[in-house]
Structure 1
């Protein structure tokens, strides 16, 4: 399987919307958001704000990793918050690791010092994936979310370049 990683293009957006609309559920996000169209998605995520895993075999994007400063503060210019999504049919195939490697490489090129993310404490598979890719737990927002009749921790993780 040939997977190339590159910046997002407008032509990727239908596949990105399909991935987003499939992967998020009440087990892995405090609020499920779906997108009605590529244009709606683009208003939140402009072209070039993702790296895309493109499958030659599939002829489409099969994963993405988004990156942006956590705030507009000048003091945050050396940190990126990241989010990742992989087509469910392509999970556990190495696509996620390729995306992680690519965002680390891009961050280094752009002088970024730290990558950060948030993950639900109940999403142990994602936590293990991030740890496997060098991320460490920086902190826990205890009982941050009330979901499915229980309190859920929000785990803060980071990778220092």
Structure 2
């Protein structure tokens, strides 16, 4: 399947919000957040702060990748934190890889050196996706979260844009 990757627009918010509200659970995030209205979603994500993957055939949004600097510090200007979400019906169909490929290109164009993310150790499919796309584990916060009656590690992963092959 072919995916069209572009920056988010306001018209995408209803579909993005629906995906967000559907995909998050305690197996992949330490706190499930749901959005009641498009306005609530817009407060969290401004236009252009995400990449969206649209199916070429149907035009439906299959996934997103948010990106932003970790802080407002000037010293963080060369780092983006990323978060990825893919609609359950589109998982395993190349959406995550297409989004990660696109963010690496955008980061290189923007002079970004490092892409960072955090992923729970209870999410092996996501860890595998990130590693397949060149992300490496930089650190492990052991027993960081108490979830579903067990401790869960938080993995810190990174991709160094300057190492693009």
TM-score range (shorter-chain normalised) is: over 0.9
Structure 1 runs of 4+ off > 3 angstroms? Answer: none
CA drift of 1:125 comes to 1.2
Q: Superposed, which structure 2 residues align to 1:110-125 within 5 Å?
A: 110-125=110-125
Written as runs of structure 1 = structure 2, the 5 A alignment for 1:60-99 is: 60-99=60-99
Show the counterpart of 2:52: 52
Preserved CA contact (<8 Å) 1:4 1:55: yes
Q: Distance in 1 between matches of 2:56 and 2:99?
A: 16
Is 2:2 the counterpart of 1:2? Answer: yes
Task: Name the TM-score, length of structure 2 as normaliser.
Answer: 0.95
Describe the SS at the equivalent of 2:48. Answer: coil
Root-mean-square deviation (Å): 0.9
Residue pair 1:12, 1:60 contacting (<8 A) in 2 also: no
Aligned length: 161
Q: Unpaired segments of 5 or more residues in structure 1?
A: none
